[in-house]
Each structure stands twice: as structure tokens, then as C-alpha cells.
């Protein structure tokens, strides 16, 4: 997952490129891609993983073309006013509950798409048994977003920091 105008995260394993933190005017990478030079606001090349982008007005989960096909859903955009909370879960794969409809489920490996829960639909993007971040929403098509991340704590801290700065 990537965060534009902030720290960049990619689904999958931590690559060691970049550090967590708020950077204005460029993208800093945590998982799976490189850092643009010269303060560029352009995203790095797509390396086959979804990205979480933090913009001034919205939070966006950007899926690759292949992920869009598998999830039967496009990118998820959420205005900051709709974000009500952030929670770090120790194992995002086991935190998924409900029925998949529609989406992809490869047992033990990948969950991607919409899960119907007793609270309402949740959008899930989880690879393996990594920690994850659950972002609670209101007045949106989804009640929450669950995103797996090797550096879930840093992602949750960044989202929380952005929420507090906007308050």
C-alpha cells in the first residue's frame, strides 16, 4: 500500500526501502517499490501490489489491474470525514470474518474483495498471515477496510496522525 504526500506502503513483505514518517511533496516507500527523486508526486511503477494512498482530502486503496479483476471491484476511496477509527490487528488473515461476495480467497495465502459481515460489508486486502490495519468507516459502502501490512503499526500511526491533524 502506498501513501501519497506521506509514507508509502505496499501489500506484501517489508523491503527495507524507506522509513515510516510524514513527508510532504513526495512519496516515501515502505513496501515493494522505489522512492521518486526530486520531490515528485508521481507514484512509483506498479509492482503488482495494492497501495494505500493518503491524500489531503481522502484515503485511497489503489488496486492493480489484476487485483481489480480478482476483487471484482475498483479502487476504494474514502473521504477523511468518513474515517472513524484505526485498529492494528496481529494477524489480518484470521481477523477476516463473514462470507466472501465477491472476491478472491486462496486459503492461507490471499484474501481480496468484499466480505459480508454481521456489521455490514468490509473490503479486505490481505496477503498471508501478516499484521493488518482495520480502518472503521461511516456513511460509506463499506463499514471498514482491512489491509494486511508488514508494517501495520507505522501505517496505523500515519493514518491516526492524519486524522488528528485534520481535526
pLDDT tens per residue across span 129-139: 999 999 999 99
For 23, what's the count of Cα atoms within 13 Å in the CB-facing half-sphere? 23
- Paired with 127 in beta bridges are 110
Among 103, 102, 95, smallest CA distance to 119 is for 95
Class of domain 7-166: mainly beta
Give the separation between CA 23 and CA 20, rounded to whole angstroms. Answer: 9
**Is the peptide bond preceding residue 95 cis, with omega within 30 degrees of 0?**
no
> What predicted TM-score, i.e. pTM, was given to this entire model?
0.74
For 16, what's the count of Cα atoms within 13 Å in the CB-facing half-sphere? 0
Domain ranges of the chain: 7-166
More confident call, 9 vs 74: 74
Amino acid at each position: 500500500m502506498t501513501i501519497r504526500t506521506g509514507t508509502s506502503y505496499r501489500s506484501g513483505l517489508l523491503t527495507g526501502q524507506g522509513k515510516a514518517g510524514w513527508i510532504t511533496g513526495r512519496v516515501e516507500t515502505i513496501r515493494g517499490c522505489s522512492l521518486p527523486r526530486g520531490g515528485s508526486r508521481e507514484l512509483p511503477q506498479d509492482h503488482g501490489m495494492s497501495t494505500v494512498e493518503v491524500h489531503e482530502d481522502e484515503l485511497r486503496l489503489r488496486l492493480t489491474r489484476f487485483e481489480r479483476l480478482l476483487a471484482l471491484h475498483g479502487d476504494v476511496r474514502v473521504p477523511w470525514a468518513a474515517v472513524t477509527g484505526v485498529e492494528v490487528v496481529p494477524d489480518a488473515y484470521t481477523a477476516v470474518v463473514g462470507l466472501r461476495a465477491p472476491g478472491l480467497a486462496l486459503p492461507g495465502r490471499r484474501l481480496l474483495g468484499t466480505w459480508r459481515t454481521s456489521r455490514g460489508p468490509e473490503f479486505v486486502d490481505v496477503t498471508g498471515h501478516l499484521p493488518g490495519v482495520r480502518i472503521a468507516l461511516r456513511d460509506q459502502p463499506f463499514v471498514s477496510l482491512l489491509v494486511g501490512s508488514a508494517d501495520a503499526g507505522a501505517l496505523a500511526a500515519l493514518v491516526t496522525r492524519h486524522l488528528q491533524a485534520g481535526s
